[in-house]
Amino acid sequence: MGDPQRRDAVRVLVTGASGLLGRVTAQRLLARGDEVTVLQRRPSGLPCSEVLGDIADPSVVARAAVGQEAVVHLAAKVDVTGKWEEYARANIQGTRNVVAACSAEGVERLVHVSSPSVSHAGAPLIGAGAGPADPARARGAYSRSKAVAEQEALDADSAALAVLVLRPHLVWGPGDEQLVARIVERAANGRLPLIGSGTALIDTTYVDNAASALVAGVDACGRVHGEALVVSNGEPRTVDEILRRLCSAAGVPGPRGRVPAHAAWLAGAVVEGTWSAIGRRSTPPLTRFLTEQLTTAHWFDQRRTRSELGWRPEVGLDEGFARLAAWYGGVGTGADLGAGRRQPAHAASRVRM
């Protein structure tokens, strides 16, 4: 008799493998024996087939999709600045190209990677579910474009192409340039104040957990499809704790001073207007969306995600902070910043299985 644990290798395309999450996801698929192809603008250095090009170019995407059984679509423009046309080209047109290529090439499974921000209109989210994507209410060009892309991806769900949307929330880990590096740089330069009280509870996701959830999605897609699921560690912590422990891991000072939430929101509006007026491309120090994210609770009930995917996080936040400290050279462990502190009991009861 055959080995009941044996599984056939899957031919899978990962778009956006030059980013942290895309790279770790591709590595995990390779490690379990899948036949992986990656698509991104620049070489990934991964030991697999590679297609270089723009996700907004339909011919590039069509070439990458040939012979694939599954696609994990991560490629996107992720930033807080830039023209709407840039986000629409990468995030909306890119997703349309992926869906079209999947349909043309007979791909059976599409795991579309989205963001919880597609359904966040600014109100607190406390033990929330995924909620429908809402382009009209989503904040900022990134969130709006991802909301449109998610809707179009789910519209393509069918008997021939199973589409599952996963929304990893605030992914971080060693080598992260989107969240950790920016926080550390600002802290090192003494430009990281707390916005508001710093007591808002938020979910984050260690990168290994986000990647394992996407791999689980590849396996579950077909059985679970036509819906969106939020992915997180399921360990809400305060903004203050998260910022201080990230800084401690990197060996830089924690947040200094406080800016009232209303003042930060007004300042963010001014900064956004200035950046838009002069066409500045750098990341602004503050935006209204960032103010909302740092002052509003947003954490998610993970029970459905875990049951539908047959998945649980492998790395707790405390271990994640320790791994980050080791990556930075062991210059900080966060031991003096409440390493063993957990979320309040009322929060924990909503996310434990």
β-bridge pairing 49-52 and 70-73: unpaired
Residue 350: Cβ-neighbour burial (10 angstroms; 0-12, 13-18, 19+):
middle
Are residues 21 and 72 in contact, defined by beta-carbon separation less than 8 angstroms? no
Q: What gap in Å lies between CA 197 and CA 321, rounded to an integer?
A: 22
Q: Strand (E) positions, the chain?
A: 11-15, 35-40, 49-52, 70-73, 109-113, 125-128, 162-168, 171-172, 194-195, 201-202, 205-206, 227-231, 237-238, 258-259, 298-300
The residue from 87, 142, 206, 328 that is catalytic is 142
Q: How far is CA 170 from the centre of its chain?
A: 5
Residue 31: Cβ-neighbour burial (10 angstroms; 0-12, 13-18, 19+):
exposed
Closest by alpha carbon to 268, among 293, 243, 285? 285
Q: What gap in Å lies between CA 166 and CA 38, rounded to an integer?
A: 19
Q: What gap in Å lies between CA 330 and CA 337, rounded to an integer?
A: 15
**DSSP 3-state of 299:** strand
Q: What gap in Å lies between CA 101 and CA 63, rounded to an integer?
A: 8
Question: Is 206 marked active-site?
Answer: no
Q: What is the secondary structure of 93-161 as a DSSP string?
A: IHHHHHHHHHHHHT--EEEEE--GGGG--SS-EEEE------TTTS-HHHHHHHHHHHHHHHHT--SSS
* Active-site annotation, residues: 142
